[in-house]
Amino acid sequence: MKTYPCILFLLLLGTPVLEASDNELSRKEVALKAALTQTDMNLRSGEIAEYLDRKLLRLEERIKKDLDNDALALFVEASLKWRAYRNAQIHSEGDVYRGGSMLRLIQSQAFIRLTNERLAALQNFCIQGKY
C-alpha cells in the first residue's frame, strides 16, 4: 500500500509520552514510525490507542479508590461524559476520511491525542489531590 506524506508528517510529530520510562509505549511508537503501509500504520496506531486507554482506566480506578461517595459519583459521571465527548470528536475528525484507508489512522491519532490530554489532566488532579 502507498504511504501518504501528510501521514508521515503526523507520525514524525509523534505522540506525547507522559512518562519517559514507559518502555512499552516507546516500543509501540517506534513500530508506528517504522510502519510502511497504511494497514500497518492503522494497526500500530490502534495498538497505541488501546494501550493508552488501558492506562487511563488504571489511573481512573486508582483515583476512584480515594474518593468519598459524593466525589466518586461526580467523577464517574464526568468520566462517562468525557468518553462520550472523545467518541464524538473522533468520529467528527475522521469523517472527512470516510470510506478511505486513512480513516482508522486519523481516528486513532485523535483518540491518542485526546486520551493523552485526559491522562495529563488526571495526573495533575492526582498531584493536586495527592492521590
pLDDT digits (tens, 9 = 90+) for 74-131: 999 999 999 999 999 999 999 999 999 999 999 999 999 999 999 999 999 888 765 5
| pLDDT score recorded for residue 59 | 96
Pick the CATH number of 5-129 from 1.10.287, 1.10.10, 1.20.1270, 1.10.357: 1.20.1270
Crossing angle for the helix pair 69-94 and 103-129, to the nearest 10 degrees: 160
Query: Is the C-alpha dihedral spanning 121, 124, 128, 131 positive or negative?
Result: positive
Q: What is the grid cell recorded at 14?
A: 509523534
